[in-house]
């Protein structure tokens, strides 16, 4: 049997809840972050974000350089009248999700659609840059029609211990 020390009020929970919220009496508000899936196909990237309760006019899709950002604001309100009371619930919150895209994406080809609380952004893949082979040609003559030669100067030790230069023709 394990012995556990009894504490009437867990002190660390008391202090963390006291400093997390302005009043210390209400729990901190949860932040809305939509679930996001990114799917890669052979020709495109598809980003799907679940944004239930968000109106289409409250959504924004922007591309800044190579960063695609989805942002929006969720506003919901409900009213319930029963018996002798009225209950109002409101939940609001903004969100922002950003994804870095590969270089060379055509911004004009990006498409976004919204249906039944799901935002879908389609980004065509950029054309793949393939290495290109460049042929090397040699010149068999210079401007006067003679053979081209290159002179290379190398340093060789002299017989007297100093250095002497010799000219080598290639």
The region of weakest confidence among 12-26, 30-44, 51-65, 74-88 is 12-26
**φ/ψ of residue 56, rounded to 5:** -60, -35
| Neighbouring residues of 132: CB distance < 8 A, sequence distance ≥ 6 | none
Distance CA 145, CA 86 (A): 102
pLDDT, one tens digit per residue, over 113-169 is 999 999 999 999 988 767 888 888 988 755 555 444 444 444 444 444 554 444 444
Whole-model pTM?
0.55
CA dihedral 95, 72, 28, 30 (to 10 degrees): -70
What would the two tokens of residue 99 be? 């994804």
Residue ranges of domains in the chain, CATH in brackets:
34-124 (2.60.40.790)
| Per-residue confidence (pLDDT) for residue 29, from 0 to 100 | 56
């Amino acid at each position: 049997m394990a012995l556990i020390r009894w504490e009437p009020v867990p002190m660390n929970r008391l202090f963390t809840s006291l400093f997390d919220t302005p009043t210390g009496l209400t729990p901190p508000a949860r932040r809305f972050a939509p679930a996001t899936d990114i799917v890669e196909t052979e020709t495109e990237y598809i980003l799907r974000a679940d944004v239930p309760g968000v109106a289409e006019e409250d959504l924004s899709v922007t591309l800044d350089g190579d960063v695609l950002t989805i942002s929006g604001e969720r506003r919901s309100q409900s009213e319930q009248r029963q018996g002798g009371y009225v209950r109002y619930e409101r939940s609001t919150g903004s969100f922002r999700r950003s994804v870095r895209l590969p270089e060379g994406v055509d911004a004009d080809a990006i498409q976004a659609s919204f249906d039944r609380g799901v935002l879908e952004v389609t980004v065509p893949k950029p054309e793949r840059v393939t290495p290109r082979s460049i042929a090397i040609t040699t010149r068999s003559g210079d401007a006067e029609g003679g053979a081209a030669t290159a002179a290379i100067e190398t340093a060789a030790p002299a017989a007297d211990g100093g250095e002497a230069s010799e000219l080598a023709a290639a």
